[in-house]
């Protein structure tokens, strides 16, 4: 039996899940009730003390075994992911995401978290130790469903917590396939999935049996989770939307940087929270940058993810396709210049939208003020760096940003003035499992990855003597 067959339920008891590219049904996801949710959390609560008691060494061994198992099943996982989410197998897409799921699982296993000595004198000493919180809810998105689920569950498990996973209703099968591999190695009750629509997600966030909620998704949904968690006082880690700005400084060598700028924006067909969403280019380089980006957008291979060579896939769902289309049309109606793309690609499939570069767009266009989450990049002109920084910071969100230029010290000076949790120089969106990641403003709070990520799912305890 394949992994997909093992997680797909009887059609009479489930909800059809379409192939993102063709819209043909690829399987059926379970639809769980609030009673099922109650039972899952109760089972997680019962399993947690024993899981915590086995200790870090044994939990790390198990997580490394899981990472090995993910690698052994990487091809099958990548095909499920490509079909359900839409991202191609090739390039920084489905195979890349499965490899990242393995890497972050292994990193959670191997990262050391030592007690911290925060005070020491002849009269005494104070140490901070980190233990398990209890039961963690992991509520994931549809854009990077496997990778981001691992960001949530692997450190939680390592710290001795049990976990309830609620995958996006758009991409449940890929997550269930990943969890099936995890659960080959875990005791019953330690890692459980609850599948359904937003109602079951809301019920999970407000459940009294939780100690921690980790959520990646939109800012609006994050606000509702905050409201729901007021009833259980669960700790929160929220990675919410982003409207990341990039600034290209005078003197930048576009021949060396333009591909990095392009993929910083168009990775996963633009469907990434920390993608570059707005590009501010100095007037001396503006026309060159627009022309080179348009060339890349026109030439990039787009199509069904299972076909070799394709690097961009469809929008994952109709709602996102409609959003992207509306934002481009609004910019066009305001007089913006669409220099590449700007239209759907129905010959490829129902939800394909051509890679699009928009120039001469107003700062108050919806394409600039809202997160497009699709294969569209607005390019804006500036003449004064102070003005560019003000415009880049003029958003309620603050997930990431980037600065592109030849002088690293100058770029660092600009980076210090940008309101973002991460600022990259001559790159955008690159992540490292050892480097903390999180947002500012309405992009959420809390950090993931490395030591900081383990602390985020741990309970600090001060021991003084």
Tokens of 214: 């980790």
> CA 334 to CA 355: how far, in whole Å?
20
CB neighbours of residue 299 within 10 Å:
9
Three-class SS of residue 72? helix
> CA 377 to CA 55: how far, in whole Å?
48
Q: Which of 97, 102, 169, 239 is catalytic?
A: 239
> CA 7 to CA 79: how far, in whole Å?
14
> CA 257 to CA 263: how far, in whole Å?
10
Buried-state track 11-27, b at ≥16 Cβ within 10 A, e below 16: eeebbebbbbbbeeebb
- The residue with tokens 């500036």 is 382
> CA 117 to CA 462: how far, in whole Å?
10
Three-class SS of residue 65? helix
> E strand or H helix at 423, and its extent?
strand 422-425
First to last CA, the chain: 57
Tokens of 289: 């940058």
Q: Which residues pair with 125 in a beta bridge?
A: 120
> CA 185 to CA 74: how far, in whole Å?
17
Tokens of 307: 């076909």
> E strand or H helix at 120, and its extent?
strand 116-121
259: annotated active-site residue: no
Residue 313 CA, chain-centre distance (Å), reads 17
116: annotated active-site residue: no
Q: Which residues pair with 219 in a beta bridge?
A: none
Catalytic positions are: 239, 273
């Amino acid at each position: 039996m394949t992994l997909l067959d093992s997680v797909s339920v009887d059609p009479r008891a489930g909800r059809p899940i379409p192939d993102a590219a063709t819209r043909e049904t690829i399987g059926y996801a379970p639809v769980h009730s609030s009673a099922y949710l109650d039972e899952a959390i109760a089972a997680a609560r019962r399993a947690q003390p024993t899981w915590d008691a086995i200790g870090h060494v044994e939990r790390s061994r198990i997580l490394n075994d899981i990472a090995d198992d993910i690698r052994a099943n990487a091809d099958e996982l990548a095909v499920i992911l490509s079909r359900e989410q839409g991202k191609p197998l090739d390039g920084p897409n489905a195979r890349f995401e499965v490899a990242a799921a393995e890497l972050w699982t292994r990193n959670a296993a191997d990262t050391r978290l030592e007690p911290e000595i925060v005070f020491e004198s002849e009269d005494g000493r104070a140490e901070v130790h980190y233990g398990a919180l209890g039961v963690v809810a992991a509520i994931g998105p549809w854009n990077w469903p496997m990778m981001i689920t691992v960001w949530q569950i692997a450190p939680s498990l390592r710290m001795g917590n049990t976990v309830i996973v609620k995958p996006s209703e758009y991409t449940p099968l890929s997550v269930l396939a990943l969890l099936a591999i995890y659960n080959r190695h875990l005791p019953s009750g330690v890692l459980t999935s609850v599948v359904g629509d937003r109602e079951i997600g809301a019920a999970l966030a407000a459940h009294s049996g939780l100690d921690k909620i980790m959520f990646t998704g939109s800012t609006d949904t994050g606000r509702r989770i905050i409201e729901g968690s007021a009833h259980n006082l669960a700790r929160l880690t929220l990675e919410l939307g982003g409207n990341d700005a990039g600034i290209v400084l005078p003197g930048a060598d576009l021949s060396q940087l333009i591909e990095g700028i392009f993929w910083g924006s168009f990775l996963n067909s633009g469907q990434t929270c920390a993608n570059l969403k707005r590009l501010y280019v100095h007037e001396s380089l503006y026309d060159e940058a627009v022309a080179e980006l348009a060339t890349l957008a026109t030439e990039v291979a787009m199509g069904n993810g299972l076909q070799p060579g394709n690097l961009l896939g469809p929008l994952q769902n109709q709602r996102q396709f409609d959003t992207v289309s509306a934002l481009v049309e609004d910019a066009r109606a305001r007089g913006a210049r669409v220099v590449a793309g700007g239209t759907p690609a129905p010959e490829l499939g129902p939800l394909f939208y051509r890679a699009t570069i928009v120039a001469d767009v107003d700062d108050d266009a919806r394409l600039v003020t809202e997160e497009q989450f699709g294969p569209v990049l607005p390019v804006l002109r500036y003449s004064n760096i102070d003005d560019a920084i003000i415009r880049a910071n003029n958003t309620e969100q603050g997930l990431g940003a980037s600065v592109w230029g030849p002088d690293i010290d100058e770029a660092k000076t600009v980076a210090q003035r940008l309101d973002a949790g991460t600022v990259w120089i001559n790159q955008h969106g690159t992540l490292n499992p050892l480097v903390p990641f999180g947002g500012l403003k309405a992009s959420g709070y809390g950090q993931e990855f490395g030591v900081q990520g383990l602390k985020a799912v741990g309970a600090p305890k001060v021991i003084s003597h």
